[in-house]
Amino acid sequence: MWKRTFFIALLSLLGGALAHGGEDHATLVNGTFKAGSDVTRVCLECHEKETKDFMKTTHWNWKGTPNRVKGLEKSSKEYGKANMINAFCTSIQGGKDGMVHEACGKCHAGYGWTRTNYDFGKKENVDCLICHAQKGNYSRSNFDCEVDMKSMEKGTMDLSLAAKSVGKPTRKNCGYCHFFGGGGDAVKHAGLDSTLEKSSRKHDVHMGTKASGGQDMTCQACHRTREHRIAGASSMMAHYDERVACTDCHSGERAPHKKSKNSAILNGHLAAVACETCHIPVFAKAQATKMSWNWSDVGKELKAEEQFDKETFLKKKGSFTWGMNVVPVYAWSNGMIERYMLGDRIKDPSAPVIMTKPVGSISDRKAKIFPYKQYTGDQPMDAEYGYLSVFQQYKSLWDDFDWDKALKNGSDILPYSGKYRFVKTVSYISASHEVAPKEDALQCGECHMGGKRMDWKALGYKGDPMQSGGRDKQLAGRKK
């Protein structure tokens, strides 16, 4: 009996150590694994609590209460990738019983989510390795939401080695999904792509290698994690667990501009200007990011030229534009977003549909000016019902270029009237990464004294606030 008690106590101690990534699993994990769920069953022997914690998160459920969407803050209904629509591949719900999940589920941290009816309560479905494997070249299949069996058969992936190598997530782990959001490397985000896996201080002062003078920080250094809930509020998604701010680290003794001779002037900006605005002067420094996507060109015979070594047309996806060293657009944000939600009726189809945009204005004291990637495109709207349509891309449009068929295949989610048209869309995607070294931060003349970077009138000022006055003066003048 004492042996059993001792063994359980030992497992408990090991579990605590493993939860902090401090234990070498090479001596703890044994056996040959044929499937990802086989590995998870071994993980569960010590990490059942961690697995249950993870299963409560948006990384597992792909939805949460819409606490970031203006007007829906008190809603108890959950929204996320699972049931929202976007301006990239648009929706994961199209096709018979959600067939599109087969393709989109590659980045879901679980196994087997190939159809709408998925068992989110099955613990062995959790994919521990996608976040924790450090060796073995762990990868997932493109189409069946499982480990990449073809790579295993070829010997280019070693599942057992991956299981033995688990540790704290690296940028590569997080980047497996987040660098490739929207269907490819550098497609979705502003300055978040595979080049950050090993970057220089000049590229990103936080993630640059120590050899280049950077901090070589992991993602979770900023995106704090508690019980597998990861801090961070996406400018595209409805839910967040906890916010991340520069002042989480840069405060007190590490307060900004403390050693600057212009600290008073610079700190005077902080009530109205976000840190990112000055310290991310451009994004997409190391490779181009997608700036537009026109679905209306699917099926056409266009010349597929390249821009920054990226394709500008694919017959199955339409046409694209790309940008490199992109100067952001600027907008006020108070932390909330205006978001197009599935089924929303479009009041004016001749105007671009706002897919996601920050909420705020010069008169909103909670708002600051932040930098954004302004991403544009078009996608189908039901001509009679007046909402953006759900269609089946995977195993439908991408194969036969038949819009009518693809829209019918998505009609289980939203009814299809039989008539459609294309409408323009616009998304404001926050620029939060590729923070520049201090010597590369914006200088006064880039925004003021004739600098063209800021559209002051669009931001609510009469003109350059250096001449017309800052926010307080602008608002005081309006009250009069």
Q: What is the mean pLDDT of residues 183-206?
A: 97
Is the predicted pLDDT of residue 480 greater than 70, yes or no? no
| Run of H or E including 318 | strand 318-323
How many angstroms separate the Cα of 202 from the Cα of each of 120, 191, 257, 441? 42, 13, 19, 11
Tally of domains in the chain:
1
451: in domain: no
Q: Which pLDDT tens digit goes with each residue over 131-181?
A: 999 999 999 999 999 999 999 999 999 999 999 999 999 999 999 999 999
CA–CA separation, 229 and 170 (whole Å): 16
Radius of gyration of the CA atoms of the chain, in A: 24
Reported as a single tens digit per residue, the pLDDT across 436-458 is 999 999 999 999 999 999 999 99
| pLDDT above 80: residue 13 | no
| Alpha helices (H) along 71-135 | 101-104, 129-132
Mean pLDDT for 183-194 is 96
In a domain, 469, yes or no: no
Query: Are 85 and 344 in contact, with CB atoms under 8 Å apart?
Result: no
By CB atoms closer than 10 A (0-12, 13-18, 19+), residue 455 is exposed
Cα 79 from chain centroid (whole Å): 15
The pLDDT score that the predictor gives to residue 479 is 61
Both tokens of residue 333? Answer: 């944000």
Q: Is residue 40 situated within a structural domain?
A: yes
The answer to whether residue 472 sits within a structural domain is no
Neighbours of 6 (CB within 10 A): 10
Q: What 3-state DSSP class applies to 37? A: helix
pLDDT at res. 12: 42
Stretch 22-30: mean pLDDT: 83
Output phi, psi for 186, to 5 deg: 70, 20
DSSP 249-301: TSSGGG-TTTT-TTHHHHHTTTTTB-HHHHH-S-B--SS-EEEEEEGGGTT--
Residue 69 placed within a domain: yes
Distance in angstroms between the alpha carbons of the first and the last residue of the chain: 83
* Placement of tokens 């017959």 in the chain: 315
From residue 403, give the alpha-carbon distance in Å to each of 77, 224, 363.
Answer: 31, 43, 44
Whether the per-residue pLDDT at 6 is higher than 90: the answer is no
pTM for the full predicted model: 0.93
pLDDT computed for residue 123 by the predictor: 98
φ/ψ of 422, rounded to 5, equals: -100, 140
Q: 8 falls in which pLDDT band (50, 70, 90)?
A: very low
- The domain of 378 spans 14-442
